[in-house]
Amino acid sequence: MMPLTLADAGKPNIIHKVGGSAETKKHLEDLGFVAGSEITILNTINGNLIVKVKESRVAISKEMAQKIMV
């Protein structure tokens, strides 16, 4: 298991765990970041990520991405 920030772009990964405070977890779950979901990094800009999760493109900060374990 590793943080999403260390995953390779373009390769699908499975989310194993979402960390952080209860508020952070809820926010990420609302965006579709739940354990068992497939996630793919599309692009990295200044450490921030654009990812594909549940057929949607979502931009998340590096800090948020470090809380998502794949």
CATH of the domain at 51: 2.30.30.90
The string of pLDDT tens digits covering residues 5-56 is 999 999 999 999 999 999 999 999 999 999 999 999 999 999 899 999 999 9
Residue 53 CA: distances (Å) to CA of 1, 24, 33: 18, 17, 7
- Answer yes or no: are the C-beta atoms of 24 and 61 closer than 8 Å: no
- Total of domains in the chain: 1
Q: Which domain holds residue 28?
A: 4-69
Spatial separation of the C-alpha atoms in residues 21 and 28, rounded to whole Å: 11
Reported pTM: 0.90
For residue 5, give the DSSP letter.
G
Task: List beta partners, residue 52.
Answer: 40, 57
Per-residue tokens: 45: 């800009």
The string of pLDDT tens digits covering residues 56-66 is 999 999 999 99
pLDDT of 2? 95
